[in-house]
Structure 1
């Protein structure tokens, strides 16, 4: 985690220029691999991260944290390391010990270098190229651990300045790691303090993925104040799913100085779409964000409200985490529980509700928004309908496939926002004209 700046205003999201298809590689017995936008462990089983971040480099004595987060159900932990440029270097011996702690506790280790945080804006931050130097310097501790370790090149590698070179720099970093002999799955963080409000990672991820000779790269978005609505979360993650690109939420919180993230949607949408996540953070936060501690003073018996939410809440770790199959030595546990009775062929009606809001209005025109919410069960698609009674006419819409017959309108989900977890929401909007009056119509929603 680093400095977060709020984003003024929100531009309408543009559609990706193309949907990218990738050839599925054979699952490497040596370690993790990526295929069709999914992460697989060395046993060939899809692995969905359900874990937390742990600030090891600042609290190296808190080695019991690995056992504690495992006991609470986590299947992975993102470990903060330092290259020695901004904070004291974590040596190869120390990294080897961290990996052994992960393995002893049947956790997957995501190792990240924190010294890159806010490069271009934060004084003292280092480049991705410098972070690669660090990884290569401790290669002896990493090689042979591909079954248990994912290498996250650098935390939040750009602030809100100088991030235009993110794609080139990330691609070059991946290629240098491969040339240096690292065969691990590589994780790449977004710029803009990890939040990618400029959509630099979103729109250039395919270029970075294709630059990896092993096609074994995963992308990580950090969700704080920029992601304070369901629509922003589902749209961003959904575009990666549609493009066949692997995405995880590498950090997120329930609150932050730059805004209030919608953690419920992050959790529910990720569960419905099998997207991994790692909450920030286990304990030891400072600088005014102490409320992001999940445990008070690293004590698992003193979970905070945030810790209770992450570990024990709806779509949290206890309910959704599945251990990596490399630790089981047997038939892997499925990513989602097998139902005791077969699901119906057609989902029952009434699986969603919709609400209509006039966001802004001016003489002769207005902006409308419809919020769609799943009921008590997850849904895979939705259709909303309404009939205008005041002669309104829609001229432009986004985040839905809209059609009309006279005054009757039908809006269906697009490919990236149809799957909603139980209780989760998404929204779509439109611009329309009106004349005389602008009454709000009743909107119906049907799950599909």
Structure 2
């Protein structure tokens, strides 16, 4: 997000082309966050899905301590901190950044630090290059060393406008290479060009090669979703291609409205939840330049949530309902495998009237593989848990799953709810997803659902 309005964006998206699929290798460094199979893992090896907001620290430093406390109180597990590298704002020096990290940790928030000065390079006067952003990170390395468990380094915000966006690929590779050579072992996040919205698909189509440049295979891609992403088809296609390719993606910024169009925030939230993708809404408070409606609270007051703040924190698939604190703070992570039961304990039948259905759908396919989604819907009564089973008819096998605890024995599949998506009201639904391989015919199985 900028403190100015976006430059003119193309009215139509160019034809979509596929991401090159790359099997993500586990990161070599184990000091902090890592990437494995397209998923973000915290330093304890547990899945971590960002649920949080952006805070404009460099312009509102006196507001930061209370803002972080309030953001945490509303349920967030992550905050993306706007820093100035000195090219246009700041600089936020090492002592300043150390204080911010300490405040994040005190509030049990994962801290995504970003250098904002790169915003709109090539179109915005005075914008910093990615190389200059790397210079900044190296200059404050003392504040970041040893904080890999709590900090993700977002090299530069929206590092290209719409001019010469193709240069993003080489510049991003060079930035990653320099940071690793300088000894940074953090997960690195990279923003897309086109003011973050990648409507020319430079990030999307070059993500695999950028990821491979990182010797630690510990790079996370970030897309900003504003007016370019105003339809469900565009949102699902963009995010789905990264999931299919096994590449980590987060929605690093998005809003409910914007001067360049009307983003489909409901689909952004629902798709992120269904596919286990992180999101960080823009922004807590203090917006100007005609986009004040993107404030989540009025004048930094947590007691004065705006309609956007209410939607993001308290709405369907919002932060309150879906956020889980990072396990590095000592909390109990969500269950990732179903608990075992003593073999002597008989199964307890579900209470009468509790029923559910499971709808299986293929949402994308490629040579030898496909992506699917399973929608679980409660019947006429509320349920507190569900189990979906089927038998693969064509020898298919999972390569990744999310939002369910899935086990298999040969062709038999069992999927159970996680701690946060088992309770459904009457008629309510939730979804879980997967990628899988197949040979020959990809015949759909018949899924059944049992409720408790």
Q: Considering the TM-score relative to the shorter chain, is it more than 0.5? A: yes
Contact 1:48 1:335 in 2 (8 A): no
Q: Using the alignment, how far apart are the partners of 2:45 and 2:16 within structure 1?
A: 35
Residue of structure 1 in register with 2:316 after alignment: 314
* Partners of 1:71 and 1:236 in 2: CA distance: 32
Q: Does 1:115 align with 2:124?
A: no
Residue segments in structure 2 that go unaligned for 5+ positions in a row: 340-347, 362-372, 379-385, 389-427, 432-445
Q: For residues 138 and 335 of structure 1, do their structure 2 counterparts lie closer, same or farther at Cα, with a shift above 3 Å needed?
A: farther
Q: Kindly report which structure 2 residues correspond to 1:38-187, keeping only aligned pairs within 5 A, or say none.
A: 38-62=39-63, 63-187=65-189
Provide structure 1 residue ranges, at least 5 long, that are not aligned to the other structure. 353-371, 381-420, 425-445
In structure 2, do the counterparts of structure 1 residues 47 and 204 end up closer, same or farther at CA, with 3 Å as the change threshold? same
CA contact (8 A) 1:27 1:42 kept: no
Deviations 1:186-211 (A, max 9, x none): 00000000000000000001111111
Shift of 1:268: 0.5
Corresponding residue SS for 1:348? strand
Residue 369 of structure 1 corresponds to which residue in structure 2?
Answer: none
On the 8 A contact 2:358/2:374 being kept in 1, the answer is no
RMSD between aligned residues: 2.9
What's 1:9 paired with?
Answer: 12
Counterpart contact for 1:77–1:110, Cα < 8 Å: yes
Q: After superposition, what is the alpha-carbon deviation per residue over 1:261-298, rounded to whole angstroms, capped at 9, x for unaligned?
A: 00001001100110000000000000000000000000
1:23 Cα deviation from its structure 2 partner: 2.8
1:300 matched to 2:309? The reply is no
SS at match of 2:61: coil
Q: 1:332 to 1:150 in 2, by over 3 A?
A: same
Q: CA contact under 8 A between 1:51 and 1:74: conserved in structure 2?
A: yes
CA distance in 1 between partners of 2:86 and 2:18 (Å): 41
Alignment-derived partner of residue 272 in structure 1:
274
Structure 1 residues 376 and 228: CA distance shift in structure 2, 3 A: farther
Within-5 A mapping of 1:365-404 = none
Alpha-carbon separation, structure 2, partners of 1:42 and 1:251: 24
Q: Secondary structure at the match of 2:118?
A: coil
2:59 is paired with a residue whose SS is coil
For residue 348 of structure 1, the aligned residue among 338, 357, 360 is 357
Q: Is the 8 A contact 1:50 1:76 kept in 2?
A: yes
Secondary structure in 2 matching 1:205: helix
Cα offset, 1:14, TM superposition: 2.3
Shift of 1:102: 0.2
Q: Deviations over 1:311-361 (max 9, x none)?
A: 100000000000000001x642347999xx999xx9826789xxxxxxxxx
Q: How does 1:423-434 map to 2 (within 5 A)?
A: none
In 1, Cα distance between equivalents of 2:182 and 2:38 = 25
TM-score w.r.t. the length of structure 1 is 0.76
| TM-score normalised according to structure 2 size | 0.75
> In structure 1, how many angstroms separate the alpha carbons of the residues matched to 2:58 and 2:84?
6
1:376-421 Cα shifts (integer Å, max 9, x gaps)? 679x9xxxxxxxxxxxxxxxxxxxxxxxxxxxxxxxxxxxxxxxx9
Q: Is the 8 A contact 1:47 1:335 kept in 2?
A: no
